[in-house]
A = this chain, B = another copy of it.
Amino acid sequence: MEYQEAKEKFISTWGSLGSLWGINKAMAQIQSLLFISTSPLSMEDIMKELKISRGNTSMNLRQLMDWGIVTKELIPGERKEFFTTEKDVQELARHIAKERSRREIKPVIKVLKEVSSIKDDGNEKTKELIKQTKALHDLAETADTMMNKIVNQEQNWITKSLLKLIK
């Protein structure tokens, strides 16, 4: 497999995986492109490479910046803006996990908390709803905590000891 083919394969695969971490295809592809680029890219570069429109590129770059995984790079003497992505996979994972938790998991945990806290009126169905949503709440909270802690700090130490523990 040659460079060009490998590059395209990477961008398209990683892009289609976008759904796994909750972002759309264009967003994921732009990030992929930046991730393997040896230098910052301009909007023009990205449009041409991925064959997407200016508007699309602009909107998705903004979203990537909101996620905190792409930053503007000012290149002296250049009028246009250039972009880079976080190149360290650990940092990348940290950002993604954090955003995912904030945007999706935390709100769901909040609802589970509310629902599992309704008054027990003695009815069998109410009891079941409370019991099951409580169990889900505890699971979601544990998973969220684990994910964040693992990914957040001392990641090398903890990952290594963890892997030893469970492998």
Q: Contacting A118 at CB < 8 Å: which of B6, B146, B166?
A: B6
Q: How far is the CA of A23 from the CA of B64 in the complex (A)?
A: 24
Encode A108-123 as 1/0 by CB contact (under 8 A) with B: 1001101100100101
- By secondary structure, the A interface counts as helix
Binding site for B on A (CB under 8 A): 1-3, 6-7, 9-10, 13-14, 17, 19-20, 22, 35-38, 87, 89-90, 93, 104-105, 108, 111-112, 114-115, 118, 121, 123-126, 128-129, 132-133, 135-136, 138-139, 142-143, 145-146, 149-150, 158-159, 161-163, 165-167
CB of A129 within 8 A of CB of B7, answer yes
CB of B142 within 8 A of CB of A166, answer no
Q: Contacting A14 at CB < 8 Å: which of B37, B108, B145, B167?
A: B108
This protein's copies in its complex: 2
Q: Which residues of B contact A90 (CB under 8 A)?
A: 139
CB of B17 within 8 A of CB of A19, answer no
Q: How far is the CA of A99 from the CA of B20 in the complex (A)?
A: 13
Q: How far is the CA of A20 from the CA of B152 in the complex (A)?
A: 20
